[in-house]
Amino acid sequence: MKTALIRAVSGAVLLASLAGCYSVPVTGRRSMNLVDPTQVARMSVQAFEEMKQQNPQSRDPARIAQLQRVGERISRVVFWDMPNADWEFVVFEDPEEINAFAMSGGKVGVYMGLFKVVQNDDQLAAVISHEIAHVTARHIDERLSKDMLTQTAGNIGGAAMVGTMGMIATDTILSAYGLGAEARGLAFGRQQELEADRIGLVYMAKAGYDPREALKVLDKLVEVTAGDPEPAEYESTHPTNPDRMRALNDQMPEALKARAAAANQPSGPQVIK
């Protein structure tokens, strides 16, 4: 089903938008994408609406307020990397789901289970920043582009694609985020995880949070989710946690410098709704 959908729609998207090159924030890596970011954002917003309809939201005022507070500060820092975002931060009720995600268009979801792991605002900022970094680095677009290349080889130009011009199916988008039923924990590769860690560390630091708390989140995740066969996105098993810890430690001076430098600088306008 998923494969068929990707095949049916991706050729049209490929034809509709020629490859674009862009520079990843913080790391400066050059990346090539075949998908139209505006379209990915539009479909992501739609997928988020579906998630809100299908998953009960928390009524815990303290957690909701905490996510809004932290989300607002992060979104100001990220403003220049996502100027068109319509930010929205939602706490989903599921207490067993130790997970969070961010979507193109500025949609962020946190499950109540995550609060078993994050103990303070700084740690919540670490997780949210990491997830948003996947978005600003356009890792989703890279994944969709890769899927398109593998799925459309030999199929491109097929008449069936024309009728679906401009469409990426919602479940294709959800799978790309690792949120589909079959796709949990599969969304990102090793380099993308390390890149999201590095960018996220800078984001949280620029927002005034202590980047050293990111290390504590990883520690706690290992403790809480030991033996879990389906790791949450933030705890993707590739790369392993010791690798991530080492990389985060290496990047800590850069992050602490960014935090100090940002202390006296104005951030982007407040755009949260």
What are the residues binding Zn ion (CB under 5 A)? 193, 196
Nearer to Zn ion, 147 or 193 (CB): 193
CB closer to Zn ion, 161 vs 215: 215
Q: Least distance from C-beta 8 to Zn ion, angstroms?
A: 28
Amino acid at 107: K
Cβ of residue 59: shortest distance to Zn ion, in angstroms?
Answer: 28
Q: Which two tokens stand for residue 243?
A: 């690798």
Nearer to Zn ion, 87 or 177 (CB): 177
d(CA 90, CA 111) in angstroms, rounded, equals 8
CB count, 10 Å around CB of 77? 23
Residue among 9 and 215 whose Cβ is closer to Zn ion: 215
At 185, is the secondary structure helix, strand, or coil? coil
At closest approach, how far in Å is the CB of 43 from Zn ion? 20
**Token pair in block for residue 52:** 């809100």
How many angstroms separate the CA atoms of 125 and 130, rounded? 8
Least separation in angstroms between residue 128's CB and Zn ion is 11
Q: How far is the CB of 199 from Zn ion (least distance, A)?
A: 11
DSSP string computed for 85-142 = ---EEEEE--SS---EEEETTTEEEEEGGGGGT--SHHHHHHHHHHHHHHHHTTHHHH
State both tokens at 135.
């978005």
> Between 121 and 193, whose beta carbon lies closer to Zn ion?
193
Closest CB 247 distance from Zn ion, rounded Å: 13
Residue among 142 and 193 whose Cβ is closer to Zn ion: 193
Shorter beta-carbon distance to Zn ion: residue 5 or 127: 127
CB burial of 19-41 (b: ≥16 within 10 Å; e: otherwise) equals eeeeebbbbeeebebbbbbebbb
Q: How far is the CB of 113 from Zn ion (least distance, A)?
A: 16
With a CB cutoff of 8 Å and minimum separation 6, the contacts of 108 are: 67, 71, 87, 88, 89, 90, 100, 101, 102, 128, 131, 132
